[in-house]
Amino acid sequence: MNINQQCPARCLRYVSSCEQSSSFDSRLRTYHQVDHLTPRLTIPLLCLLLGEMEKLVACVQKKPGALCRLICFPWAGGGTSQLARWGKLFNDSIEVFCIRLPGRESRFEEPFASDMTSVVNEVTSVLLKELKEKPFAFFGHSFGTYVSLAVALHLKETYGLEPVHLFLSSAHAPNSAGHLTLKNGTIPDDDDDFLTCMEILGGNYKIPQDEDIRKTIVVTSRADSRVFQTFSFEKTENNIPFSCDITYFYGSDDKIYDAQGWRELTCGDTSFYQLPGDHFYLLKPSNESFLIKHITRCIENAGL
């Protein structure tokens, strides 16, 4: 079987459309840091990249003409189903990518991420081309807030890339006492004790009673909690990492978060919005509608 028969037709179509382009080789070097391969020999590498993208990213509605991408990072133990569907709710100017971490959904058989660095490296390596080609914004909820922040810090420090807006939700600022307390806490090995800690420390919400669901929540959330505890951030007096605007959302019935420190992470504007509900306020239809409209307005006003 020759190389063309081994690879999906979409890869061949991609290569055929790009081979005559003078920028094709440079794009391949961006992907692979390889400049001695001919375009045809890179087809398996393109297949691999497409596979990595589909593994990491859930995108329910592709919008090639979008002006901006909103990259969503779910909460501890979460998958992509809730936030990925936002892709159908935004207008055509915003395309939604939702990040799928290992150990869940189509990546169920993969081992969980060992630390925040491995998560950041995967997201960055797979999405770097997309992040360079058009403006992007981040939305993170709870644990996802810290993942989005870690990725944003790495992109700024390593590539000089910055989101046009950071949308953060239900999480202590990383330079706060509340964050340090959570980060340095002990993660219980007993399932019931862990669920109790989730209810006390992770936010005000009810754990489902279904045993299978509870078991899945425990296993996945415990793994994500260990990743969270490996996230490190040191704020110095002269260190303001971002220039983009930051918007912070939280539920009125959730626990109280040490959130004012988010102001110190940007020289842009910082806004705070309280919405009715508990830790998962964003799942209420009325709040979801508010978030979609507000995020759209912020991105459209970013001067893209």
Q: Rounded to the nearest 10 degrees, what angle do helices 116-133 and 211-229 cross at? A: 80
Annotation says 141 is catalytic: no
Q: What CA–CA distance (Å, rounded) separates 256 from 172?
A: 9
Question: Tokens 């990725």 sit at which residue?
Answer: 151
Q: What is the DSSP string of the chain?
A: --HHHHS-HHHHHHHHHHTT-TTHHHHHHHHHS--SS-TGGGHHHHHHHHHHHHHHEE-SS--TT-SEEEEEEPPTT--SHHHHGGGGTS-TTEEEEEE--TTSGGGTTSPPP-SHHHHHHHHHHHHHHHHHHS-EEEEEETHHHHHHHHHHHHHHHHH----SEEEEES---TTSHHHHHHHTS---SSHHHHHHHHHHHS-S-PPP--HHHHHHHHHHHHHHHHHHHT------TT---B-SEEEEEEETTSPP---GGGGGGBSS-EEEEEESSSTTGGGSHHHHHHHHHHHHHHHHTT--
- 207 φ/ψ sector (left φ>0, alpha ψ -120 to 50, else beta): beta
Annotation says 93 is catalytic: no
**Residue 169, Cβ neighbours under 10 Å: how many?**
26
Catalytic residue among 141, 165, 172, 279: 279
Catalytic residue among 141, 142, 148, 176: 142
Give the residue numbers annotated as catalytic, written as ranges: 142, 279
